[in-house]
Structure 1
Amino acid sequence: MRLLVLEGNSLAGRRRWADVAGSTPSDSYADLLRTLAPEAVVEICTPADADARLPQPIEAYQGIVITGSALNIYQREPESLRQIELVREIFAQGVPMFGSCWGLQLASVAAGGEVSLNPAGREVGFARKITLTEVGQGHPLHAARNAVFDAPAIHSDIVTKLPPDVTVTARNAMSEVQAAEIRSGRGRFWGVQYHPEFSPQDIAWVLLLIGQPLVNEGFFADAAELERYASDLALLQHHRHRRDILWRLGLDQDIADDRQRQAEIINWIASLDRT
Structure 2
Amino acid sequence: MSLNILIVEGNNPEDSSVFIEAAKASCSENLKNLVQKIEPLAEIKIINPSRDNETKEALENLNQYKGIIFTGGAMRINDMTDEIKKHINFASNCFKHGKKILAICWGLQVCSTAAGGNVAPAKNGAHIGIATDVKINDEGKKNLIYKNKRHIFTTPAFNFDEVIELPEGAKLLSSDSINRVMAIYFKSGQSEIWGLQYHPDYEYWQMVNLSNARKDRLLNNNIFKNEDEFEKHVNYIKEQDLDFDNRTHEVRNWLDNLKAS
- TM-score normalised to structure 2 length: 0.91
In structure 1, runs of 5+ residues without a counterpart are 234-245
Pair 1:197 & 2:201 matched: yes
The alpha carbon displacement at 1:167 in A equals 0.8
Q: Tell me which of 227, 238, 251 is aligned to 1:222.
A: 227
Contact (CA 8 Å) 1:145, 1:263: kept in 2 or not?
yes
Which structure is richer in relative contact order (CA contacts within 8 A, separation 6 or more)? 2
Distance in 2 (alpha carbons) for counterparts of 1:60 and 1:117: 36
Percent identity among equivalent residues? 25
Note the alpha carbon deviations across 1:44-102, whole angstroms, 9 max, x for none.
Answer: 00112344344571121001111111111121111111111111111110111101101
Distance in 1 (alpha carbons) for counterparts of 2:237 and 2:134: 23
Per the alignment, residue 254 of structure 2 pairs with: 268
Q: Tell me which of 82, 87, 96 is aligned to 1:83.
A: 87
Give the count of matched residue pairs.
Answer: 256
Q: Which runs of 4 or more aligned residues in structure 1 lie more than 4 Å from their structure 2 counterparts after TM superposition? A: none
Q: What's the secondary structure of 1:135's corresponding residue? A: helix
Distance in 1 (alpha carbons) for counterparts of 2:157 and 2:237: 17
Contact (CA 8 Å) 1:131, 1:170: kept in 2 or not?
yes
Distance in 2 (alpha carbons) for counterparts of 1:112 and 1:139: 22
Per the alignment, residue 238 of structure 1 pairs with: none
Q: What's the secondary structure of 1:26's corresponding residue? A: helix
Distance in 2 (alpha carbons) for counterparts of 1:141 and 1:20: 29
Q: What's the secondary structure of 1:194's corresponding residue? A: coil
Distance in 1 (alpha carbons) for counterparts of 2:228 and 2:45: 38
Pair 1:45 & 2:47 matched: yes
Per the alignment, residue 74 of structure 1 pairs with: 78
Per the alignment, residue 10 of structure 1 pairs with: 12
**Quick one: which amino acid aligns to residue 35 of structure 1?**
K
Give the alignment of 1:135-154 within 5 angstroms.
135-154=139-158
Distance in 2 (alpha carbons) for counterparts of 1:87 and 1:271: 20
- TM-score normalised to structure 1 length: 0.86
Distance in 2 (alpha carbons) for counterparts of 1:157 and 1:229: 20
Q: What's the secondary structure of 1:141's corresponding residue? A: helix
Per the alignment, residue 243 of structure 2 pairs with: 257
Q: What's the secondary structure of 1:262's corresponding residue? A: helix
Distance in 2 (alpha carbons) for counterparts of 1:232 and 1:69: 20
Distance in 2 (alpha carbons) for counterparts of 1:169 and 1:141: 9
Q: What's the secondary structure of 1:52's corresponding residue? A: helix
Q: Supply the RMSD in Å over aligned alpha carbons.
A: 2.1
Distance 1:87 1:118, change over 3 A: same
Note the alpha carbon deviations across 1:130-150, whole angstroms, 9 max, x for none.
Answer: 111111112111111122111
Per the alignment, residue 23 of structure 2 pairs with: 21
The alpha carbon displacement at 1:271 in A equals 0.7
**Quick one: which amino acid aligns to residue 16 of structure 1?**
V
Per the alignment, residue 188 of structure 1 pairs with: 192
Distance 1:35 1:220, change over 3 A: farther
**Quick one: which amino acid aligns to residue 176 of structure 1?**
R
Give the alignment of 1:101-140 within 5 angstroms.
101-140=105-144
**Quick one: which amino acid aligns to residue 179 of structure 1?**
A
In structure 2, runs of 5+ residues without a counterpart are none
**Quick one: which amino acid aligns to residue 87 of structure 1?**
A
Distance 1:59 1:143, change over 3 A: same
